[in-house]
Structure 1
């Protein structure tokens, strides 16, 4: 079984969308995992994603409410069986001013954030093998400061996944954090990955067309 793994797609941009669809065509995956800023909601293969901070939030809200779309499933503090692995997702990015608000009070672009209830709901999931997040945990990246979010570290501690896949930062970097292999993914217009489900090893392929 072929599992494709994709970083940020930003596929509202026509060139990025063309690249995204070319990846699907070339890999012909059985399943796809994607870590947010997808911005394209009719994928040609079964795709599970954690929403990012750049999305059509009307679409994301419908998916949160349980709307079924062919080949697309949102992981928003929920989990699913994908290719024999249990995959969970925390959708959204962190804003300290919004974190303690009820989700139903978030309006407009503020819907892009996760809130405390989202983190607490995700922390109750069981037997998670792979965690998808848009935000990075602390200890993964540095720009002269650590851009990570401690609430993602909390999930790593609570869930103990074998692998955590991270978007948002458009750069490939790996670290072991709290016993979990954490990988920040390059964006889909630069690189894509395939996941070996038995070992959870990632194989990288640069986009060269």
Structure 2
């Protein structure tokens, strides 16, 4: 199974890199960690929305609407799907303290990028999750001289107890064990791709020479 970090495919060079990975690797299934910005893809892809997306498209996918502009994309928004025999759940969006206590339908425009308490509560109710995808990191994974982790991701790891949690957004590879879960922050797709063994959940990173100069 192919696993990709942030793609930022609104950038033409990074879009070319993303599509070249699909063409070169010919994956049967793909997991992607947000900031995708390309919604017609060559292989079935389960992804979470990040903070950089086409939010009209994301809202349509949340609602289950069929769009002529999308193909092979499956949004995980406090929902779960079975992928190669694994139960994969995801929380879409990033955290904003001023928006968290609102209801989802109160978010408009670019503010639709955020998750709310409703989204977290729905995600916490997911059961039998093997892999959990999130755009925000838990505490204890990354440091910029401060910990950028989000307490609500900490709470979700405690509630869901997945075997593996994959994190986007931060554009750097880091690993830790948190609350009994192996947590991995992924490098972006233009720097590295990952392969996942569905039997063992072994995740392996691969450098590639498709990087954009941008």
| Alignment TM class, shorter chain as reference | over 0.9
Q: Following superposition, which runs of at least 4 residues in structure 1 exceed 6 angstroms of deviation? A: none
In the other structure, the counterpart of 2:179 is 178
Q: Are residues 1:50 and 2:48 paired?
A: yes
Q: Are residues 1:198 and 2:199 paired?
A: yes
Map Cα deviations across residues 125-155 of structure 1 (whole Å, 9 max, x no partner): 1000000000000110001100010100111
In the other structure, the counterpart of 2:15 is 17
Q: Are residues 1:87 and 2:94 paired?
A: no
Map Cα deviations across residues 58-107 of structure 1 (whole Å, 9 max, x no partner): 00000000124431100000000000000000000000000000110101
SS in structure 2 of the partner of residue 114 of structure 1? coil
Q: Tell me, which stretches of 5 or more residues in structure 2 are unaligned?
A: none
In the other structure, the counterpart of 2:140 is 139
Task: Determine if contact 2:7/2:15 at 8 Å carries over to the other structure.
Answer: yes
In the other structure, the counterpart of 2:130 is 129
SS in structure 2 of the partner of residue 71 of structure 1? strand
TM-score, normalised with respect to structure 1:
0.98
Q: What is the deviation of 1:208? A: 1.1
| Higher mean displacement: 60-69 or 168-177 | 60-69
How far, CA to CA, are the matches of 1:67 and 1:44 in structure 2? 20
In the other structure, the counterpart of 1:103 is 104
In the other structure, the counterpart of 1:30 is 28
SS in structure 2 of the partner of residue 44 of structure 1? strand
Equivalent pairs counted in the alignment come to 207
How far, CA to CA, are the matches of 2:11 and 2:150 in structure 1? 28
In the other structure, the counterpart of 2:121 is 120
| Higher mean displacement: 199-208 or 87-96 | 199-208
TM-score, normalised with respect to structure 2:
0.95
Map Cα deviations across residues 152-204 of structure 1 (whole Å, 9 max, x no partner): 01110000000000000000000000000000000000000010001101111
In the other structure, the counterpart of 2:3 is 5
How far, CA to CA, are the matches of 2:65 and 2:175 in structure 1? 34
RMSD of aligned residue pairs (Cα, Å) = 0.7
